[in-house]
Amino acid sequence: MSLFRDDGIVLRTQKLGEADRIITLLTRGHGRVRAVARGVRRTKSKFGAGLEPFSHADVQFFARGSELIGRSLPLCNQTQIIAPYGNGIVTDYARYTAGTAMLETAERFTENEGEPAVQQYLLLVGALRTLSRGEHEPHLILDAFLLRSLAVNGYAPSFDDCAKCGIHGPNRHFSVAAGGVICGDCRVPGSVVPSSEAIALLSALLTGDWGHADACEARHVREGSGLVSAYLHWHLERGLRSLRYVEK
Ligand SMILES: [Zn+2]
């Protein structure tokens, strides 16, 4: 790996040795990248200040010799914080838990390091910006992010036409295995009949109709969150740990 520069969102940081950190970022052009930030834990080091989860940073990466622990990892030697989204997120429990679930989801959907995932990156930047500004309820921002993440990764759920035969909606039954709403003829074991309001909410979140989403009653929001969670878990095969802590 040669020298390259990219901007990205810090997904996680891990301690390395006495003073260093391994930083995991979702970058605009290089997908998920891990890099070693040297000396960032020394108190006098200005370098790396702000390289915390949720930060949007411009980073220069370069490969170094074999003295590194984890020698395949590049170093990041220059950073500039573009937007410290964490400032508007970590001080609020609901925002923090929603944001943490977003970071974890983004990491799960970008399992191959270095493989560009620009749509996932853009979704994450937009969702963290919205979350840090408190523009909508945190769990609505999270559910919109999860639905759109599923969509850009090829798992777009259907909330209108039958996911199996395509007959026009509205369709009442919902099945995670079938890929969204299904008609009475296509109904499969395990399908449920959600309220039409919950289905309309999920459709609004997927398409960005915030006027509709913000006006929804709490019980329909909770019901919709349950469907999103079930759908996401089905596709990721195992549950996201951080989703358990999101206040519904
Ligand atoms: Zn059908």
CA of 185 from ligand 1 middle (Å) equals 6
d(CA 223, CA 216): 11
Residue pair 121/115 in contact (Cβ under 8 Å)? The answer is no
**Other beta carbons less than 10 A from residue 10's beta carbon:** 23
Mean pLDDT of 58-76: 70
CA of 105 from ligand 1 middle (Å) equals 30
Q: Which of 60, 53, 50 is nearest to 30 (CA)?
A: 60
Q: Looking at the predicted structure, is the pLDDT value of residue 9 above 80? A: yes
Which pLDDT band holds residue 1 (cuts at 50, 70, 90)? very low
Q: Looking at the predicted structure, is the pLDDT value of residue 77 above 90? A: no
CA of 28 from ligand 1 middle (Å) equals 39
CA of 209 from ligand 1 middle (Å) equals 26
**pLDDT confidence of residue 247:** 56
CA of 173 from ligand 1 middle (Å) equals 10
CA of 184 from ligand 1 middle (Å) equals 7
In this prediction the pTM is 0.90
pLDDT in tens, 79-92: 889 999 999 999 99
Calculate what percentage of the chain has a pLDDT beyond 90: 70
CA of 160 from ligand 1 middle (Å) equals 11
Mean pLDDT of 199-207: 97
CA of 169 from ligand 1 middle (Å) equals 9
Q: Looking at the predicted structure, is the pLDDT value of residue 31 above 90? A: yes
* One-letter-per-residue 3-state SS of 38-94: CCCCCCCCCCCCCCCCCEEEEEEEECCCCCCCCCCCCEEEEEEEEEEHHHHCCCCHH
CA of 156 from ligand 1 middle (Å) equals 17
Q: Looking at the predicted structure, is the pLDDT value of residue 208 above 50? A: yes
CA of 181 from ligand 1 middle (Å) equals 9
CA of 182 from ligand 1 middle (Å) equals 5
Q: Which of 244, 193, 182, 194 is nearest to 223 (CA)?
A: 194
Q: Where in the chain is CATH 2.40.50.140?
A: 2-86
**pLDDT confidence of residue 69:** 46
Assigned CATH topology for domain 2-86:
OB fold (Dihydrolipoamide Acetyltransferase, E2P) (2.40.50)
d(CA 133, CA 126): 11
Considering only residues 66 and 194, tell me which one the structure prediction assigns the higher pLDDT.
194
Considering only residues 124 and 50, tell me which one the structure prediction assigns the higher pLDDT.
124
**pLDDT confidence of residue 192:** 95
pLDDT in tens, 145-174: 999 999 998 889 999 999 999 999 899 999
CA of 176 from ligand 1 middle (Å) equals 14
Mean pLDDT of 68-76: 68
